């Protein structure tokens, strides 16, 4: 089985109106017509292409119409060939020709592919291209006495290719990297925060477990709350019992009045005071009222029985 | 030459960040919940522990009552003391009021769980006593 896809070379020029026909799965090598880019051959005070690329925007600054341009450069002897092109314009043209970017293997400048051109080549009904001072230029065919036809079948393509920025017109690369970097940093910060918060939570859960074992608590909070409620009730009842008993032990009684019984059972306190007939209990009840004690009074002869719920 | 739309990458990053924010919110809520739960548990533990130390410490309560009963003023009083697993019962058919005052002063000023109490005046100097303390 042969997995290698076949490829076809096409020459892309805005004057070609017909759609490009190619088989499904076939890959295209695209050569850009000189009308799709700007080129200059210049000497620059730098040695490498990488350094030269940093200067390209300023080199073309005043010579290009308004638009969003990409730049590239190649070494040509002691000089540099510098290019400016509009990705969006080329992509639109490819789209208009029915070429999907997925099917493109490589994109070349005609300048690089016809650098050894001798004479002129006719690229459409009215225009031809030829080398002038090592720069490939377009001219009306009527100016040129003899033009060859364009033959791509025998052309050997160079390795000098470009990649079109499909979305360069939406946002430029620098801004894109900045926004991307900010978002990535934000994501990292959030991840660190999640990790820190999660670690803190785990540490607190461990501390909680330690509290349970240190204080020998029961396994559930419900059980522990129930235990607390039970002992709080005991504490409340015992405090109240002592308080009520102290009220009676410190109570001012008449000489004839004597406490004969103090009884506490089933959370009820009974106090029996002898020498107090019905209608003469005011001196006792007024003292209880002043303390805010709720009580019931019953009589048996000269005995007064005070009943209080604890 | 198939390139990824930077807007798609941006959207993906925004979705990831939104997810991380959501996750962070969840983890922080869990942290607040865990902290609150820990504080509640600690507070509850201290309360339960101190209440149990007062009202459910059998050994401590028994020893304290034994010390009270061993006092000189009560040694001569005819006190009937019955101990079982959950409580101690102290009774006397006739006890001097002085001894009774001494006993009750110590019991009422201590933190004991008195479940039943009956003090009956018999005369100017005598009384009867029935008391049960639980732990």
How far apart are the CA of A225 and the nearest CA of chain B, in angstroms? 7
Are A83 and A36 in contact, with CB atoms under 8 Å apart?
Answer: no
Angle, CA of A126, A130 and A131, to the nearest 5°: 155
Tell whether B88 and B100 lie within a shared domain: yes
Tell whether B26 and B87 lie within a shared domain: no
pLDDT tier at A2, thresholds 50, 70, 90 = very low
Domain termination residue (choose one: B27, B55, B83): B55
Site of tokens 């690329």: A53
Residue from A71, A70, A158 nearest A111 by CA: A158
Q: What is the mean pLDDT of chain A?
A: 89
Assigned token pair, A266: 């089933």
**Cβ-nearest to B2 among A102, A227, A238:** A102
Residue from A135, A183, A151 nearest A31 by CA: A151
- How many other C-beta atoms lie within 10 A of the C-beta of residue A260? 16
CA distance B115 to B125: 26
Q: Check CB contact under 8 Å for B13 and A235.
A: no
Assigned token pair, A223: 């059980």
Are A88 and A165 in contact, with CB atoms under 8 Å apart?
Answer: no
Domain termination residue (choose one: B9, B28, B55): B55
Assigned token pair, A27: 């890959």
Tell whether B41 and B97 lie within a shared domain: no
Are A134 and A41 in contact, with CB atoms under 8 Å apart?
Answer: yes
pLDDT on residue A171: 63
More reliable by pLDDT, A301 or A109: A109
pLDDT one-digit tens code per residue, B98-110: 999 999 999 999 9
Tell whether B65 and B93 lie within a shared domain: yes
Q: Is B19 on the interface with A (CB under 8 A)?
A: no
Tell whether B51 and B63 lie within a shared domain: no
Tell whether B107 and B118 lie within a shared domain: yes
**Cβ-nearest to A263 among B1, B3, B118:** B118
> Is the ipTM reported for this complex over the cut 0.95?
no
pLDDT on residue A143: 86
Range of the domain at B23: 1-55
pLDDT one-digit tens code per residue, A150-191: 888 888 899 999 988 876 666 666 777 888 899 999 999 999
Task: List the single residue in A with minimal CA-CA distance to B14.
Answer: A183
**Beta strands, E only, chain A:** 7-12, 27-32, 37-42, 70-76, 79-85, 104-109, 120-122, 127-132, 135-140, 147-149, 258-265, 268-274, 296-300, 303-309
Tell whether B70 and B120 lie within a shared domain: yes
pLDDT on residue B1: 56
Its pTM stands at 0.59
Q: What residues contact A13, with CB distance under 8 A and at least 6 apart?
A: A33, A35, A36, A123, A124
CA distance A172 to A282: 98
Q: What residues contact A18, with CB distance under 8 A and at least 6 apart?
A: A97
Are A161 and A108 in contact, with CB atoms under 8 Å apart?
Answer: yes
Does the pLDDT of residue A133 top 70, yes or no? yes
**H runs (alpha helix) in A79-172:** 87-96, 110-113
Lowest mean pLDDT among A15-29, A46-60, A193-207: A15-29
Q: Check CB contact under 8 Å for B1 and A179.
A: no
Tell whether B129 and B80 lie within a shared domain: yes
Helices and strands (DSSP H and E) totals, chain A: 7, 14
Assigned token pair, A179: 């926004």
Q: What is the DSSP letter of A162?
A: B
- How many other C-beta atoms lie within 10 A of the C-beta of residue A272? 20
Interface size A-B, in CB pairs within 8 Å, comes to 145
Count up the domains in chain B and report the number.
2
Residue from B49, B7, B1 nearest A171 by CA: B7
pLDDT tier at B9, thresholds 50, 70, 90 = confident
Tell whether B24 and B81 lie within a shared domain: no
Picking from B1, B15, B53 by the largest number of A CB atoms within 10 A of its own CB, the best residue to mutate is: B1
In this structure, which CATH number among 1.10.490, 3.10.20, 3.30.1360, 1.10.287 belongs to the domain A229-309?
3.30.1360
CA distance A91 to A274: 115
Q: Check CB contact under 8 Å for B31 and A197.
A: yes
């Amino acid at each position: 089985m042969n997995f290698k896809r076949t490829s076809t070379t096409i020459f892309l020029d805005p004057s070609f109106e017909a759609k490009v026909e190619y088989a499904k799965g076939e890959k295209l090598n695209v050569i850009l017509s000189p009308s799709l880019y700007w080129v200059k051959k210049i000497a620059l005070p730098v040695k490498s292409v990488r350094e030269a690329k940093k200067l390209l925007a300023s080199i073309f600054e005043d010579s290009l119409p308004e638009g969003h341009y990409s730049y590239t450069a190649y070494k040509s002897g002691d000089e540099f060939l510098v290019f400016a092109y509009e990705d969006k314009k080329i992509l639109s043209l490819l789209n208009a020709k029915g070429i999907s970017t997925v099917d493109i293997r490589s994109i070349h400048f005609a300048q690089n592919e016809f650098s050894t051109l001798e004479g002129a080549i006719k690229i459409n009904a009215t225009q031809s291209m030829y080398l002038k001072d090592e720069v490939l230029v377009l001219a009306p065919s009527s100016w040129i006495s003899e033009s060859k036809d364009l033959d791509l079948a025998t052309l050997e393509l160079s390795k000098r290719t470009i990649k079109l920025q499909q979305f360069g017109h939406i946002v430029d690369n620098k801004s894109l990297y900045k926004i991307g970097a900010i978002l990535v940093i934000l994501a990292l910060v959030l991840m660190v925060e999640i990790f820190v918060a999660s670690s803190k939570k785990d540490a607190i859960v461990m501390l909680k477990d330690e509290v349970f074992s240190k204080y020998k608590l029961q396994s559930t909070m419900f059980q522990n709350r129930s235990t607390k409620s039970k002992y709080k009730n005991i504490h409340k009842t015992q405090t109240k019992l002592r308080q009520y008993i102290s009220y009676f032990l410190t109570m001012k009684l008449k000489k004839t009045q004597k406490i004969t019984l103090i009884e506490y059972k089933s959370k009820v306190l009974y106090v029996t005071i002898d020498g107090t007939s019905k209608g003469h209990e005011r001196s006792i009840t007024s003292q209880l009222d002043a303390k805010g004690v709720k009580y019931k009074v019953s009589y048996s002869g000269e005995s007064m029985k005070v009943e209080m719920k604890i | 030459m198939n390139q990824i739309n930077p807007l798609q990458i941006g959207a993906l990053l925004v979705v990831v960040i939104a997810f991380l924010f959501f996750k962070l919110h969840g983890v922080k809520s869990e942290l607040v919940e865990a902290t609150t739960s820990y504080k509640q548990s600690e507070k509850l533990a201290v309360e339960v522990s101190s209440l149990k130390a007062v009202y459910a410490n059998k050994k401590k309560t028994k020893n304290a009552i034994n010390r009270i009963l061993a006092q000189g003023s009560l040694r001569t009083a005819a006190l009937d003391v019955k101990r079982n697993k959950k409580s101690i019962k102290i009774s006397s058919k006739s006890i001097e009021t002085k001894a009774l005052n001494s006993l009750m002063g110590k019991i009422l000023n201590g933190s004991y769980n008195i479940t039943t109490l009956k003090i009956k005046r018999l005369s100017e100097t005598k009384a009867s006593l029935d008391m049960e303390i639980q732990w």
